Structure 1
Amino acid sequence: MIKKLLILVLGILVASCSQFSNSPTSKAWHNLNAKYNASIDAKDYYDYAIHKIDSSQIEDYSRTLPILHKIDSNHTVISKAELDEVIRLTSLVAERHSNSKHLDKAYLTLGKARVFKEDFYNAIEVFKYLNSNHKNEEYRDAGLIWLMRAYMENDEFNKAEAVAQEISQLNLSKANKADFYQIKGAYHQRKGETALAAVFLEEALKHMKKSTKKARGHFIAGQLFKELGKGSLARENWKKVVKNKPTYELEFNSGIALLLQASDLGANANASFAKMLEDRKNTDLKDKIYFKMAEAKAESGNYREAIKDFSTSVALAEDRNQKANAYLQIAEIYYGPLANYSSAAVYYDSTLQHMSRTFPNYEAVEDKSKSLTRFVSYQKVLRTEDSLQQLAQMNPLALEDKIEQMIKAEQAKEKRLSEEAAALKKEEENRAVSGNNRNTNSDGWLFYNQVRLTRARTEFIRKWGNRPLEDNWRRKEKEAGSISFKLEKGIVGVDDIEEDPGEIKRKEEEKRMAELETQKQAMISKIPTTPQQMAISRRKQEEAYYQLGKIYRLQFNEIENSKRTFAKLLSDFPNSQYEQEVLYFMALMAEDKNTNQWKSTLIEKYPFSGYARQLKRGEIEVTADTESNAARAYEDLYADYKKQNYQQALKKAETALYDYTGTSIEDKIAMLRIMLLAKTGNNNSYRIALMDFIRSYPSSNLKPRVSEMLAALTKK
């Protein structure tokens, strides 16, 4: 009887502890288990995961920092194990303790963990469920805030904005306000809306507790206000960095930012930078100090000195990204203010060698580097072919003297550049060593200073060679008593036979003359002496002018330089194969659209070209009548084609193609013209028409067929 009673009581207790029961006993049981068996551990794992992610972030202080780093699973993978455990533990609360008061918190943490795992779809579903089935409004609000972030991280900005509108109507707690305004600021920053980003970030900072996170926020607010030209607000935020538990790097960079904002960037700034370099705390930050010194000099127009300081930053930096930033700044100076494209190309290439592919502007830098490399190569073609054509006009005797002068001038230039490069490299090394040794007592023992020791050994090897450690190491011949042992050629006690200095000089002169003659013959062989060779040389120039004009217009956006280059092409190469396209570019760049001579010339000379139709397309309005007339014209053309009236149909097709530009059947008329050109045997016009079709109608259903026709023609 007692046993049955115990079983009955136990059954009642078990039933009362069901997660679907609302009894006080059940709730107490599940609250206890949810809290101590899942919630606390999940929070600890989540906090540690975020700490690991934040600690591994490398901040690029040369640019405006992101308010929130974009979530990337390649980066957050460092916390995969912790995030997986968060998901497991929070899922237990939902599965086993659904009547617990910790359920809302578990769903929120679960959604956040999924966001950091870049599992946005499931994270969004969790936050939506929390919004619909919440018990606590604060967790509901937090879920909506993180729903907005999930949409933002998934690049669904319209949905993120819609959620933000809904959140703005809620009465948020202080913590939720801080999170909402911070995410809203990050949202506007990613959209390039700097002013709104600064406003929302500043609002978020009002609700944050004193912390490193708040210090970072003030630093970014300063950067944003600087971008907006609001120096006083920028300084105000940078000053607040030190009051909010900053890392040393944050404090250091805010100090430099305040220094650069000072009204006087002359001697006082230089003295401040020198003081920073002497501070032992900044030993690992000297590359960044030189970088900021260079930025200050560049802003004041002292570009040569800026380049030197950026070069020193490169020499001191151990971080590849820092090297890339310094190289990029040098490249930008050569590209912009100095307009030295050949040097810019070299430094952009160096930038790419050190820049991580994850950099936000990597693709832009890569594109600019490729454009500059092509630009410099085409400039070299122009100079080379121009020189060769001038040499071709000279008489043989004058030509030989001229070539010899050119070779000697080139050798002198190479020697000068080599010496300048060596001097610059030595200066950079000296500045780097000086920067590293600034805190070292110059009177200290050499062997306690590894940098000075390495430098001294390198200098010794340069002067004496890599000699073994032994007695009389300075002497070429080692003496024992009064006997000199000669090891050369196995002879003992016999002096070397010294060669006559005059003979040495004669042989060196013969070698120099032979090398000069070889170089002369090599250059003479490149001179275009026949009509065919001259035509090839001019063809290279034509191609170079065409490519340079396009690079100026499309990559560099230098309209005037593009105009001058294209005008030179049209004047020096009448009836160029690129004339249609060049006229099109010139028509687009013309300032006066009403008296556009380039457009008139293009339409007059090439009325049936795709470029002429493209210009016309922007000026006409296609009506239903126009479409109807085009359809009738096409039927008429096709009837002539079927009757084999090819010549008559071709003339009609060319007229119709121009008259009905912009209609829905324009591509069909162009296709029929191609078929008529094939029937009339005009192979050159046929090839041009095929290429023009592919360029003019990239989305046409007929394009694959045209591509096949062009491929078949190319194989012939």
Structure 2
Amino acid sequence: MALDQGVLSLNESYEDNYWDILPVERMQVSEEVTLPGQNKNEQFSRAEEKAVKAIQMHGMNINGKEVNPQIDEAYLLFGKARYYDQRFVPALEAFNYILYKYPASDKINQAKIWREKANLRLENDQVAIDKLKKLLKQNDLKDQDLADATSTLAQAYINIEALDSATTQLNIASLFTKNDDERGRYRYIQGQLYNKLGYKDSANFAFERVVKLNRKTPRIYLIAAQLELANNFDHATGDKVLLTETLTKIEENRENRPYLDKIYHQIGNFYARSDQDSLAVEYYNKSLRTNTRDKRLMAINYEILGDYFFDYTEYKIAGAYFDSTMMNMVTDTKPYRIIKRKRDNLDDVIYYEDIAFANDSIIKLTHLSSDQQVTFFEDYIENLKLKIEKEEEQKAIAQETTSREQDFGGIESKNSFNSREGSMQSLRGSSNKPPASSFYFYNPSTVSYGKNEFLKKWGNRELEDDWRWSTKSKSIISESAKNMTDVVDEKNEIFDPEYYISKIPTDQKLIDSIAKERNFAYYQLAVIYKEKFKEYELSENRFQELLAMDPEQKLVLPSKYNLYKIYLLLGKNSQAELAKNEIISNYPDSRYATILKNPESANLKDENSPESIYQVLYNKMQTHDYAEVISQADNYITSFEGDPMVPKFELLKATATGRLQGYEAYANALNFVALNYANTPEGAKAQDIIDNVLPKLASKDFVDNEADKNFKIVYYFTNATAKEIDAFKLALQTETDNVNVYDLSISVDVYNPTTTFVIVHGLKSKEGATGYAQALQEKKKNKIVQDFISVSSSNYRIIQIHKNFDDYLNLQ
């Protein structure tokens, strides 16, 4: 009885995942390790304890043979209790003991089946299959034993992905089991397997058999089977009217309320496949409003709705749905990463769509005549006034409701006291007083009705003489109308068309700048739709709209080339040919024309591509040619505007600026990248440097660290030529090569546009560095004479970061 109760509680606490193939047995295996003496369920502990007592107190082992026929059942109970308590190795030992010690037991077949169930839990799938096949072949199993053996074998086949073999075993199990709960589960799993194998007709037959069980099987299997039948519906040839009626009956059945989340979702799927998007969206939202505990269902609903709103270009709403999708998914999984990438890309879309919409609106206003502008804003102001009036009216109604409650609160308290007093008089048996309920003010319903009627007719009147005169009428709503007029007067600026017209830009340079920003936003949107979302039609529309706006020349050619690629992807070959010929004819010297003339060259390295140019510039950065990097980066940023490589050039320029001009210039350059390219990896990297790296570099103070064992000699040159620097470095290298005590090396560092350092590395103290430099100056031959300082590595780092070399010289 304890074991049965434990199994029942186990089944009730277990939640099936109907998105995957159900396990044959309802039991959630925990990943937690159970220590000796610990139990997950007290009922199983009790069952195990009782089995042990039966074995210890009632076992009759005479001449090596057990003569009590109940002891084998006690061992079987013992093993089952351990199995359900998820101690599978000890359970396996108990079942093996029965097979070894009681070979003639009438429970021997059950022990063999349970042994293989334990093997399955220990992932010994092939062992279980071999033993069960042998058992089925050698023994004439019947009824429940046959059902248990075949269902266990089916689970083993599912584990090794032999789904067709599993369906055969489940069919046998469903025919021979005596438990209708098991029968419904086996048939439902059989339908799932057929679905996965692609046999829709066989799956539908299995699900129909579940439906025919009706109340003999748990309702969840019945509902799940009906929804699977709807999911397998053939929209091309099936009777949609009949399916709609069936789904409506399932939805309206009161017994199905616990499963409305799944029902609404399936109805949404039906309408989505029937191209009835508005109804589909309604039912997906209904599914979410059921407060379902199925996180995967919630994630799927949110993702579908996010995709819908993305297709309708409602990007902010789509972004919110994708955020909710991720909240209901397991992090660090492939589906989660896909949604996260889609959501991150959506940030770019929202950003550029906002720019495009706002700038489009401004430019349209600049194209209107003065009279048209006045008419436009007069219409806007009328709508604004209506909106304010509505808001003020709602405030007035709320204020009136509050006033009523305050004015009549005391009367209600008094009436309630009178009602109680009247009730007491009735109880005393007074014949002079009528029953309490017969008096007007003793009945709350009539009092409430009277109040409302009074307010409708007279409004909120002061308690004073001649209160019925019309001049005394001061309803809250009339007061609020006056207040609203005052509000309008106070805000008369926003009700003046000239207020808005004065803000429309008139300077052509500013208008051109707004148009330029708008065009760049259109280009970026088109590229994002094409590259990140594969929404080729949306991308095509954006590119065509951009070209119709007569954008800057640097956006025209890449837009036309992208359109050519989109036409090919959409199968519009004639339009693609036209676009190709136009590029080759009008831009024969461009790299795009070169690629189109010789498609094989697209796979070769293009020396004029932004990627190749960036690599060349990056190599110059490594050779300390910072001024050249900054200058060329500026040129390429202008010439490649609109290309995805531009943020990389900007970040490279910022790094070179920092190396050449120091901390403050670096911080400003990084801020520029972070603000203007916020939705790119380079912008994110710049922001990360600002947040996490710059604070560590902020200190300008030099340090005197006795533990510092790394010093340098810094020779400094002002406005020296490259030839002079090379000659000095060669002479210095000749001297350092003769030093065997220290491992010295030489480098050339740029300090600023006019100052260059030649540095000797590898000295262990400041005094030693200074002494070695002075010794080189005092040589009889080949003297090394040049201004120098000795500096620790940490202080040299501060000098280069903050460009405060003069401050360090003053300290010497």
C-alpha separation in 2, matches of 1:597 and 1:377:
34
Which is higher, the Rg of structure 1 or of structure 2?
2
Aligned with residue 170 of structure 2, among 194, 205, 210:
205
C-alpha separation in 2, matches of 1:475 and 1:542:
66
Say whether the 8 Å CA contact 2:167–2:194 is kept in structure 1: no
Q: What's the counterpart of residue 37 of structure 1?
A: none
Alignment of 1:109-508 (within 5 A): 145-146=120-121, 148=123, 171=133, 173=135, 178-179=151-152, 181-182=154-155, 184-185=157-158, 197=163, 199=164, 201-206=166-171, 208=173, 210=177, 212=181, 215-223=184-192, 225-226=194-195, 230-241=199-210, 243=213, 246-258=217-229, 261=233, 265-276=239-250, 279-286=253-260, 288-315=262-289, 319=293, 321=295, 324=298, 327-328=301-302, 331=305, 334-335=308-309, 339-342=311-314, 345=317, 349=321, 352=324, 356-358=328-330, 364=338, 368=342, 371=345, 375-376=349-350, 378-406=352-380, 408=382, 471=441, 472-476=447-451, 488=462, 491=464, 494-495=467-468, 497-498=472-473
C-alpha separation in 2, matches of 1:667 and 1:111:
64
Structure 1 stretches lacking a partner, 5+ long: 1-39, 94-100, 117-122, 150-162, 189-195, 417-460, 622-653, 697-701
Aligned with residue 556 of structure 1, among 533, 554, 564:
533
C-alpha separation in 2, matches of 1:73 and 1:707:
57
Larger relative CO (CA 8 A, sep 6+): 1 or 2?
1
Aligned with residue 544 of structure 1, among 521, 525, 529:
521
Say whether the 8 Å CA contact 1:570–1:579 is kept in structure 2: no
Q: How far 1:385 moved relative to its partner?
A: 1.2
C-alpha separation in 1, matches of 2:625 and 2:271:
65
C-alpha separation in 1, matches of 2:388 and 2:478:
28
Say whether the 8 Å CA contact 1:549–1:566 is kept in structure 2: yes
C-alpha separation in 1, matches of 2:545 and 2:252:
56
Distance 1:694 1:312, change over 3 A: closer
After TM superposition, the score normalised by the length of structure 2 is 0.48
Deviation string 1:341-374 (CA, Å, 9 cap, x unpaired) is 3289359629818963449856655655565565
Distance 1:219 1:477, change over 3 A: closer
Q: How far 1:512 moved relative to its partner?
A: 5.3
C-alpha separation in 1, matches of 2:30 and 2:156:
19
Q: How far 1:498 moved relative to its partner?
A: 3.4
Q: How far 1:383 moved relative to its partner?
A: 2.6
Distance 1:521 1:513, change over 3 A: farther
C-alpha separation in 2, matches of 1:104 and 1:292:
44
C-alpha separation in 2, matches of 1:348 and 1:310:
15
Q: How far 1:413 moved relative to its partner?
A: 11
Q: How far 1:518 moved relative to its partner?
A: 0.9
Q: What's the counterpart of residue 552 of structure 2?
A: 574
Say whether the 8 Å CA contact 2:247–2:267 is kept in structure 1: yes
Distance 1:354 1:74, change over 3 A: farther
Say whether the 8 Å CA contact 1:219–1:237 is kept in structure 2: yes
C-alpha separation in 2, matches of 1:415 and 1:305:
35
C-alpha separation in 1, matches of 2:633 and 2:486:
61
Amino acid at match of 2:312: N
SS of residue paired to 1:473 = helix
Deviation string 1:635-674 (CA, Å, 9 cap, x unpaired) is xxxxxxxxxxxxxxxxxxx96x98x98xxxx999664343
Distance 1:404 1:146, change over 3 A: same
Say whether the 8 Å CA contact 1:542–1:569 is kept in structure 2: yes
Give identity over the alignment, percent: 15
Say whether the 8 Å CA contact 1:382–1:541 is kept in structure 2: yes
Q: How far 1:255 moved relative to its partner?
A: 3.3
Say whether the 8 Å CA contact 1:545–1:565 is kept in structure 2: yes
Say whether the 8 Å CA contact 2:306–2:321 is kept in structure 1: no
Say whether the 8 Å CA contact 1:205–1:217 is kept in structure 2: yes
Q: What's the counterpart of residue 603 of structure 2?
A: 619
Distance 1:275 1:536, change over 3 A: same
Q: How far 1:232 moved relative to its partner?
A: 1.8
Say whether the 8 Å CA contact 1:478–1:485 is kept in structure 2: no
Q: How far 1:388 moved relative to its partner?
A: 0.7
Q: What's the counterpart of residue 672 of structure 1?
A: 619
Alignment of 1:54-69 (within 5 A): 55-59=12-16, 63=19, 67=23
Amino acid at match of 1:518: I
SS of residue paired to 1:341 = coil
Distance 1:220 1:169, change over 3 A: closer
Distance 1:670 1:504, change over 3 A: closer
C-alpha separation in 2, matches of 1:465 and 1:286:
41
Say whether the 8 Å CA contact 1:222–1:237 is kept in structure 2: yes
Aligned with residue 39 of structure 2, among 64, 78, 82:
82
Q: How far 1:205 moved relative to its partner?
A: 1.5
SS of residue paired to 1:301 = coil
Q: How many residues get paired?
A: 530
Deviation string 1:504-563 (CA, Å, 9 cap, x unpaired) is 978856755875851656754653333453354235424432442244234432123224
Q: What's the counterpart of residue 518 of structure 1?
A: 494
Distance 1:521 1:693, change over 3 A: closer
Say whether the 8 Å CA contact 1:225–1:233 is kept in structure 2: yes
RMSD: 6.7
Q: What's the counterpart of residue 731 of structure 2?
A: none
C-alpha separation in 2, matches of 1:387 and 1:694:
28
Amino acid at match of 1:560: E
Structure 2 stretches lacking a partner, 5+ long: 53-71, 101-110, 137-147, 391-400, 416-440, 442-446, 638-643, 670-812
Q: What's the counterpart of residue 34 of structure 1?
A: none
Whether 2:628 is the aligned partner of 1:681: answer yes
SS of residue paired to 2:449 = coil
Say whether the 8 Å CA contact 1:549–1:563 is kept in structure 2: yes
After TM superposition, the score normalised by the length of structure 1 is 0.53
C-alpha separation in 2, matches of 1:303 and 1:51:
43
Amino acid at match of 1:252: I
SS of residue paired to 1:381 = helix
C-alpha separation in 2, matches of 1:115 and 1:534:
76
